[in-house]
Amino acid sequence: MSDKKRLTQAIINLNEEMVTDIVKKMITDNVEVTDIIDACRDGMTAIGDLFEKGDYFLSEMVMASELLTGVMGHLKMKVDRGPIKTLGTVVIGTVEGDIHYIGKDIVVKVLEANGYLVVDLGVDVSPEKFVEAIRTHKPKVVGLSGLITEAIGPMKKTIDAIEAASLRDKIKIIIGGGIVDEEICSYVGADSWANNVSTGLKIINEWVGENVGE
């Protein structure tokens, strides 16, 4: 089995020791960073499928995200040597008034592993900051995260502000978090919603496949 396939399998199995050993070997062997990231992405895709089937839980997503942080740490020096081609930019943040980050952070790691350039605005992000970030980074997709029920209002306020800034038709907006559903999606004016990372990734991949914002 190739190192690339072994790395994918080690990620799926959440075998931390093996992941570290293979990544170190691949770096020593001068394997392209994009190949290492591809192997991670394949692993995360398989983890997403296991999650959807109910074989994996959020505990596995958290651990996978921890593994990816480790891999990215090993790759950092290599990555700094030159730009990596990305699928597109995603601006993401937890909306104003909500300071929860665990779900958002998992999404950020998974999107990065899947080749997206992610601009993470953090938590308690005002509508103005989202608008400013959209102007600056020209993302294809904007993700609004929220855990508490009080996040519904600020999600709507943020999308209204994006609309008022005439930026709405240039981007797709997805809302995510434990509270979101179809009704909230339509109420706040988002394009789609997800309450797990694997569904969210699929939606974003579909949009990007349709060349949103280009």
Partner 1 sequence: MLENNVNKILTQKIDRIEKAINLGKGDRVPFCTILGVNAFQANYAGYSTADLSNDPNKFGHSKVKLVKDFDIDMPFGTPGQNNTIAITLGEDYPDLRPSIVVMTGRIHSILQDKFTKWPGQELDQTSVPQFVGKKFLELDEYDEFIENPPKFINQKIFPRAYRSLENTSSGIAYGALIKWGKELFIYNAAMQAIRTELRALGCPQIITVNANNPYDFIADFVRDFDQAIIDFHRNPEKIEAAAEAMLPYIMRFIEKTTNLPPEAKKNFDIQNPIVIYPLHLNEFLNRKFYNNYYWPMMKKLINADIKSGRVPLILFEGDHTPHLETLLDLPDGKIIAHFERPNWSKVVEVLKGRQCVMGGIPTSLMVTGTPQDVEEKVREMLELFDGGKGFILSFSHYSLPGDTKVENMRAVVNSLNKYS
Q: Which residues bind partner 1 (CB under 8 A)?
A: 14, 16, 54, 56-60, 62-63, 66, 96-100, 102, 105, 124, 148-150, 152-153, 178-181, 183-184, 186-187, 195
- How near is the Cβ of 28 to partner 1 at its closest, in Å? 25
Distance in Å, CB of 194 to partner 1, minimum: 13
CA distances from 13 to 3, 34, 39, 162 (A): 15, 21, 13, 41
Which CB sits closer to partner 1, 56 or 207?
56
Q: Return the DSSP state at 168.
A: G
Nearer to partner 1, 66 or 128 (CB): 66
Helix or strand holding residue 51 (H, E): helix 33-53
Smallest gap from residue 19 Cβ to partner 1 (A): 13
Q: How near is the Cβ of 83 to partner 1 at its closest, in Å?
A: 30
From the list 109, 106, 45, 104, the residue with the least C-alpha distance to 71 is 109
From CA 138, how far away is CA 70, in angstroms rounded?
29
